[in-house]
Amino acid sequence: MEYDFAKETPAGDRASEWRFPARVFEPFSGQMQLLNAPELEARVDGWLKSGGLTRAACGHWIFTWNAFRIECDPLTVIDTLQSFDLDSADVQDGALYRDSGAKEPAPLVRKAVGPDSATFVAELAVDPEAVRRERAQTDVVVAEIGHRQTVTLDQALQARAEESIAGTISVTLETDALGSVRRRTKVTKIETKEPGGRSETETVTETVERQRISDGGS
């Protein structure tokens, strides 16, 4: 498979992302395999040069109109593609659904069936340690960008160790007539209680939808 921007993508937007086009092999089971890593390696050097950067900047965070990490590893394109992958899950009633932010997998439950579609839902429990680690990683970035300080991940994790974290991840998969997932909606609700008694509730909704685009033909 080859993944790339749509043909009508502006040149400026395309130039901002060196990892595409990416060619990968997608096995029936197991992880995607990147096939054109040398090509991506060559593109990242040009991308760094155009921004006045060197390889020394790789792995660091900077802030322009947004905060972003200077990423130089071609294999990170696999993580990006997998976050949009709608075909990896076994979509059938009772099949276990997995999410990286959940404690453990949960079964899919068929909620609706139509002549050309079906809907499946999985309810999972949030993994507090996964949330704590993600927040600690953000703390490390904020310290580097905003305060010009170095905070290690262990220090950030220790600072958040006494937070009480609980929540749910609700995933809805909508399939087409062939059984392929055409839309995935993920709603994550997290409640955090601090040692002093203050509590906070966060809700995040993510939707990934497959749509056919015109190839310009008749």
Residue 88 has pLDDT above 90, yes or no: no
How does pLDDT run across 160-210, given as a tens digit for each residue?
999 999 999 999 999 998 889 999 999 999 999 998 889 999 999 999 998
Query: Where in the chain are the domains?
Result: 1-84, 86-218
Q: What is the pTM of this model?
A: 0.79
How does pLDDT run across 97-112, given as a tens digit for each residue?
999 999 999 999 999 8
| CB of 67 closer than 8 Å to CB of 61 | yes
Residue 146 has pLDDT above 90, yes or no: no
Higher confidence at residue 24 or residue 179?
24
The whole-number average pLDDT for the span 122-142 is 94
- Which residues 6+ apart lie within 8 Å of 52 measured at CB? none
pLDDT recorded at residue 164 = 96
Question: Whats the size of the chain, residue-wise?
Answer: 218
Tokens of 74: 């071609």
Closest to 120 (Cα-Cα) out of 96, 138, 148 = 96
Q: In the predicted model, what is the mean pLDDT of the chain?
A: 90
| CB of 93 closer than 8 Å to CB of 109 | yes
